[in-house]
Structure 1
Amino acid sequence: MVYQASSTRYAEMKYNRSGKSGLKLPAISLGLWHNFGGLDIHENGRAMLLRSFDLGITHFDLANNYGPPPGSAEEMFGKVLKSDLGAYRDEMIISTKAGYYMWEGPYGEWGSKKYLVSSLDQSLKRMGLEYVDIFYSHRPDPNTPFEETMAALDQIVRQGKALYVGLSNYTAEQTKEAAAILKGLGTPLLIHQPSYSMLNRWIEGGLQDVLDDFGVGSIAFCPLAQGLLTNKYVSGIPSDSRAGGKSQFLNTKDITEEKLNQIIQLNELAASRGQSLAQMALAWVLRGGRVTSALIGASRVSQIEENVAALKNLEFAPEELEQIEKILK
């Protein structure tokens, strides 16, 4: 059956300008870090992508190493583009990244021009694209001058392989240096992708100010703290959860009694707002307009629907924000 996008796909989604650029991103974006790789069920991934687009999610975020195996998320996404979403390419923002390990030898990771250009060429082939909308340096390279890494990003834009460039996992000082170099090259930094949630607030310690100074947007990954900020853990640790052994980034030791108590209190506050904990956590990340988009992951369509519904209530009373601070203190 030929896919036809919903005629109401733009009716409810909120779109925010990325910094001072001309580009708007959906307040909720979909990341393909997990559950879209070669070991996952293709039809489930396809269903999540199509439902996301029908809900107004126009931004799909990938990286060269997403899978597993590495590269397979881009391949899967490319197949769905070819079979279903290709006709809507100009309505979509597609991003990918390079920085982490991809292949053997001295040119298979980090931030050299050799690696970044080669990796993007591979990513474009996997997805069947002529260009991506955003290309990220996925992490700073301690052994490559920022001038080389930023010059590679500038070259990629000038070659037409990407429209915009971004950074991920750079500190405030690293971002300041990189943004200044890019500005001098004439390819301004569009966006930064940091981890950020109610349980992980490091970007408030300077990065957000740097982004404001340079007119750069931000898209928060792990806004639900790997699932901790959902009702999944309110009654214990499910065996099929990331903390139950499904992820190398979250395990049972991450869920202390203190943290579990915080989650329970936050869940009660969310309920009083008429939201799930996940919905409140997304709304909190987007509060005040300093974060352009919250980047969600999903394993099934219903999670995407629940997360997008967070946009129905993005406002917080001062007392609610005070209560959240008290819970997390």
Structure 2
Amino acid sequence: MATSPASAAATAGRVTTVVTETMAGWCVLMTVDGYSKLMEADECIESDWFCAGCRRWYMYIIGGAKEAAAADLATFVIGLESPDDEVKVRYKLTLLNRAGEIISATQSFATLSSSVNSTEMGAMDTQYLLEDSFQIRCEVAVVTEITAARPPDLPRHLGGLLASQVGADATFQVGGEVFAAHRCVLAARSGVFMAELFGPGKGTSAAAAAPVRIDGVEPRVFRALLHFIYTDSLPEVEVGEGGGDDDEVAMARGLLAAADRFGVESLKLICGDVLCNSIDARTAVDLLELADNHGCPSLKAACVKVIKDLLAKVSPSSSPIRKRQKKLN
């Protein structure tokens, strides 16, 4: 039987690097086929050198130590060749599987110099790779001067529109509370709201005037969802009896489920990042189930890492963490 080029590359192991210049800087696409084979041959996988901002850069992947609980964790690093002076770089790292689906995304600033010439950009649990292959898309921009950007007016104006309810033409009944909003804004930000408000049979005046009942969502979560849809930011969380951190985590859990339900992907990523910082022995199993149910791979990978670390420290028992071990393998 003939072997496809992709299968052959995955069997042998291959790394390719493509660099393109963009309006903001440079975009580096590193494709890794046959990850496990490459890691067997060496402790790290390097990209080709590429030029950005008149300097030579490289990316490499460090695999987890084979005896460690994080053996399946791959860490992604960007480095600068022999910098003579301090260099500030802005990067956006996107990890994709072989099908081109986004696994996770992150962005940040880093300052490199002769003493620190590389920085970790992110990590991925490799046991969820599709066909032992993945792509790294890294957008790099060398920053000559960082200035405070003027906050955009649009989120502030739309937030004011939501608060004033001027021109609101849609109402929602959520847990005994009524919320007014603007159909065009909701439809522009969410395909689910687009179908709900402008789908077949929804264009009549009677249908538009009828309140939409939303079940399974807390009123405060729906209020925060509307705030994000209008302003692209999260509101301040009101502190209750559970304390500030507990309230923030509870809100992030509710918003993650709501964002998945209404198709607000950027909010899912933000909630996933918030919940990643709250994973411990008490919450790891529940958050792993939440990530499974609502398609949040970055949160799932972080939960898996924490659970593996915990499993390495405890003896076999009837603990909740042990009961999930089969699902991690």
Instruction: Kindly indicate which of the two structures has a greater share of residues assigned to helix.
Output: 1
Q: Which has the higher Rg, Structure 1 or Structure 2?
A: 2
Please classify the TM superposition score into its range, dividing by the shorter chain length.
under 0.3
Length-normalised TM-score, structure 2? 0.27
